[in-house]
Each structure stands twice: as C-alpha cells, then as structure tokens.
Amino acid sequence: MSGEFRGEFRVRELVLGIEGLALLRHAVDGDEAFLKERVAEIRRFAHADFTDLTDSGVEKLPDGGALVSELDAAAGYASWSAVYDSLPSSYIEVEEPAVHAILDGLTPGVALDAACGTGRQTRALTARGHRVIGVDQSPEMLAKAREHTPEADFRVGHLERLPLGDDSVDLAVCSLAMTHLPDLAPGVAELARVVRPGGRIVVTDMHPFVIALQGQCLFVRDSDELAFVRNHVHLPGRYLEAFGRAGLRVRGCQEPLFNGRLAPGGYEEFIADAARAAWNGLPIVVVWDVEVPA
C-alpha cells in the first residue's frame, strides 16, 4: 500500500456530484421536468442518512461506510487480477473497436503488448498473426495472460524500463496504462526505443475529462475494502509533447464517447437518468495512432 490515501467511500458526495454535473450540462437547454427531478433528488439525497439503508428513497443505494485505500501499481494489480477479466467496462467496450480497426490494417510481425495486464490485447494481436511479447510489472496479471495465450512470450517489466532491445518490434500497443504514470515522457520514450523505424505505436488512455471529473476507478479488495491505483490527468498537449520529444509522428487520434453502460450494481445505476445525462456525449478514452519515422 502506498500510504498516500486511506479514507471512506462517500456515496452521498458521489451521487450529489453526478446529479450536479447533469444539472450543469443541461442548465440552459434541459427539459424542465428533467431539471426539476434532478433538484428534487439532490434535496432528497442531501438530507438522507446513507448509513441507514431503510431511509426512504435511498434504501437501494450502497452503504457509504466502506474503506477505500490507494495502492501502488504492484499491490493494486496483484489484488485486482483475481476479478479484472470478469468486470464489465465501458472504457474497454469503446476502446477495443477503435484499436482493432487500426490493428486490422497492419501487416503481422513482432508486436509488444506493453503493460499487458491479463493479455486482452495480446489475444487480439495473436489472432491477427503477430508474434507477441507481453510485458507487465504484475506477476499476478501475467499469470492470467499466460492462461489465455500460452504461445506468447510474457516478461515482467515496467513501462519506463521495458525488457526489450532497441528496434526489436514492429508494433507496440499500450492500453489504459499510461494514466498510472505521473509523467508520460519516460513511457512514451521507451515505446519509441523498442519499435523499429517505420513501425507503429498504438496508445490508449482514459480520457482526461473522465479522470478530472470522476477521479479514480475503484475495485473491491479483500472482499470488504475498496481500493484504487491512482490515475493521473494527461492532457492531449502533454501527449503531443511526449510524442514530439520521442521523435514520433502522429497519424491519428480518436476519442470514443460514453456508450451509455453503467457499472452493474454501482451507485450510478440508482440515479441512471442523471448519470447518463452527466456522461452522454463525453469522450471516455483517447486512442493515439503514431509511427516511428523510417
């Protein structure tokens, strides 16, 4: 555990924040009945006792008393690995079609799945004929990846210190991992180092809008405690700066939008109208397609 943060999961504040964001985004052109319902729910939730699940109107909301801790990436993904593949994710659902469309246009070769986790991109790359090297700092996540794709070459390593030689792969994919780095530059520079001239790099990340508004992605740890691995806001300008420093050329950038899926059993399901109004039309991931100049 990093020790940087340990506190309480505050359902009331999160619910009120979502309701407020829905109001903010629709204050000018929102339907009057919709706006009145948001105000009414804010009043109700603001005065509700969230520790008393029998309280009228909030009996289905989760208890607000769960502990939440920040974990470093090693401890966080060791714990997260047990349930990671079973959790539905709107981020992955909108990210994968964009990534797969890029991969479908590439000639098979040697590919790196950097910060591969349980190997979902390793599976996509292998299915397209690539010989894949998967790298992750979490042995627990790599164990899951090996179960899915035993033919791939999996190695323990960090984004900032990849265990590969210079110019050793034709393609590198890094999915939803750069957000955990306080500084993008070292990770981007490493990807540029290992990809051959003329090769491609596909980087996806949680969109800075989402991180700035919502903060961290929580998961259940040890059955009764919530935890997160910190996400950092990386604005597009920072990415462009990091790509430029590494000598990379941007071919394209996509920003897939929220698809309407709310996490099953989460607090947002109980304020679904407000949650969808808050997030609809906002990009939730960013997909970068860049190349190493020949």
d(CA 131, CA 108): 8
Q: How long a stretch of residues is the chain?
A: 294
Position 40 in a domain: no
Position 148 in a domain: yes
pLDDT at 60: 46
Under a CB-based contact definition with an 8 Å cutoff, are residues 164 and 215 in contact?
no
Model's pTM, two decimal places? 0.90
Q: Which domain holds residue 154?
A: 87-214+231-262+283-291
Q: What are 253-263's pLDDT values in tens digits?
A: 999 999 888 87
Q: Give the CATH number of the domain where residue 169 resides.
A: 3.40.50.150
d(CA 80, CA 74): 10
Position 3 in a domain: no
Sorting pLDDT into bands at 50, 70 and 90, what band is 81? confident
Position 33 in a domain: no
d(CA 34, CA 58): 19
Q: What is the mean pLDDT of the chain?
A: 88
Q: What are 259-283's pLDDT values in tens digits?
A: 888 877 677 888 999 999 999 999 9
Tokens of 224: 């009764």
Q: Is the dihedral of CA 84, 85, 91, 96 positive or negative?
A: positive
Sorting pLDDT into bands at 50, 70 and 90, what band is 226? confident
Position 171 in a domain: yes
Position 272 in a domain: no
Q: Is the pLDDT score of 4 beyond 80?
A: no
> What does 185-242 look like in DSSP terms, one character per residue?
HHHHHHHHHHEEEEEEEEEEEE-HHHHHHH----EEETTTEEEEE------HHHHHHH
In Å, how far from its chain's centre is CA 155?
A: 22
- Close Cβ partners of 105 (under 8 Å, ≥ 6 residues apart): none
pLDDT at 48: 67
**How big is the CA angle at 272 (ends 269 and 277), to the nearest 5 degrees?**
140
DSSP conformation class of 62: P
Residue 45's Cβ-count burial label (10 Å; 0-12, 13-18, 19+) is buried
Per the structure, the count of domains in the chain is 1
Position 35 in a domain: no
d(CA 66, CA 68): 6
Position 166 in a domain: yes
